[in-house]
Structure formats: structure tokens, C-alpha cells
Amino acid sequence: MSLNILKLDSYIDKSLTKARNDYSDFNTNYILSIQISLDGFSFCITDEERNKHVALENYAIQEINDYEELSKELGNLLDSLDIIKRRFNRVNVLFEGNKAALIPFPLFDENATEHYLKFNHKVEQGEEILFDKLGTLQAYNIFAVPIFIKDLVKSKFINYQIIHFSSSLIECLLIKYKNQDITNKVFVNVRHKYLDIVIIEGSKLVFFNSFKYKTQEDFIYFLIYALEQLKLNPENIDLVLLGEIDKSSRYYEIVFKYIRNIEFIDRNDFFNYSYVLDEVASNYLYNLLNVSTCEL
């Protein structure tokens, strides 16, 4: 494995390793979901017939600053992973890019996607514009994906779809809480260098944004800033944490100084979970594990 790629976690159900050479059993019943960013790669495998997560791996990517180099490194990694050298029923590819824009259904024109995105982002040569249809939100999410990443996915998989990570995150939360009239509930998805803040009132999305942080102070500043924009009192909200954070984290530590009502999101009971995932926290890689519940 490349010195730039470090395996952080690996949870593989023994049933997959036993069936490794029996591709006929593996062809129709399994979904592969992967997540790609400049600083990380992860994947999970879901047994669609039993609605059960049976594998999860997470990797850190270091000292890679462009998508051409990333695609080469990931190509080598994918070639080395026997467990995903199979035909899957479906492949979901979550791309963690920073260029995205939500457009309500009534305002959307498929021929104007580049125009929409250029309002807030610079679309560069070597990027292709894609969009997701978010049925629960009643909006489209337009985003840019590097051609190098799209070509990599196309060369390795069939029956794939490339999804912006925020599409999955928003839809998963709206679906999970659609029958609950929630108020003053704030969701924070923690990634390696970014935090994503989602605020839902009733069954509607009222706020979504991603912020890049380096320090504890950055982290809490952006969170409090978002609350102030919506006139939410930190003393009165329920904060729900997802992603790469636990109680030992210094980011949890500083959040607890300002917000008392904090919880970690519980597992989605739509799925069953292999015994190998018993030790995995309910919030860890939540977006990846739940992308297949979203009708994107």
C-alpha cells in the first residue's frame, strides 16, 4: 500500500471472506458504497437481501493535494482490495467536494446547471457538473466533480452513481426524522477538516453549510455563528453529533463548554449490522452507512 494511504479501521464479516471466490453468490445481493475525498477514503458493503451491513473500512490519505494524484493512488488501492473486486448490484460513490448548490424544484433548469454553480463557485477546467435529485427536500443539488475522479470510478465499477456527500447527508436526516415534528435540533457532521451543520425545523431543512476548521476555536466559532444566524440559543438546542467525533475528542470537549444538550445520533434501525460492527460507534461514518436509504 502507498505510504500516502493509511488504513484506520477494518471490519469484515467472515461470510464475505468465505465467499470471496464464489462470485455467483455475490453478484446480485450486495451494494457497495464508497466515500472519496482528498484526505480520506472509506467503503461499506451492504447485503441488500438481508438489509445488513457486513463490511466497513476507512483510510486516511496524506500529502495528496490534487485529484490526478489522488485518482492514481486510489486506483492502486482499489486494485489491491479483493473484497470489492466483484460485480455489485449497485455502487454508490459519495464525493466530498466543496462546490455545490441547492436549487428548489420550481427554479431548476437542467440546461443552466453551470450557471447556478457559478453564482458561488469557480468551475475550473477538468471538472464536470453533475446533479442529484433530492425528493424529500424537493430540490436539486448541483455539484462539480473532477474528471479524474469520475474516470476512476467509471474504470473500476459498473452500475454506479456519483452523489455529492451533502445530498446523502441532508436526505438521510430528513427521511430519518420525517415523522417527527422536531424543533431546536441541530445536527453536526464531523469530517477530518470540515464540519457540516444541518438544521431542521418540523420536516423542513432551514440551514445547511460546511465550514473548514483547523482548531478547536474554529470549530466552536462556526457552530455558534450558525446558531446566531438562526437566533437559536445554545442553552436551548439539542445538538446531535455524527461522523468522526467521540467524547474523548478535543472538539467534543469545547462544544460541551457551550452546549449542554449533546447526543450522538443513534444507529438507523432500517438496517441490521454484522457482529463485526458491534464495536463501531453509532455516529461513525453515519453518512456512508446510510446513503443507500436515500432515493437519489
Domains of the chain: 5-97+145-172+269-293 (3.30.420.40), 179-264 (3.30.420.260)
Contact between residue 258 and residue 220 where contact means Cβ atoms under 8 Å apart: yes
Q: Yes or no: say if 201 and 230 are a contact pair by the CB < 8 Å rule.
A: no
pLDDT of residue 290: 96
Splitting the chain (296 residues) into consecutive groups of 10 residues, what average pLDDT does each group show? 87 79 58 96 95 96 93 95 89 97 96 92 94 96 97 95 98 90 92 95 90 96 95 94 96 95 94 95 97 88
Element (H, E) at 59: strand 52-61
pLDDT of res. 228: 95
Spatial CA neighbour of 291 closest among 88, 48, 98, 94: 94
Look at residue 85 and give its three-state secondary structure: coil
Looking at residue 24, what is its pLDDT?
46
Give the pLDDT of residue 20.
Answer: 53
- What the block records as the C-alpha cell of 21 is 471466490
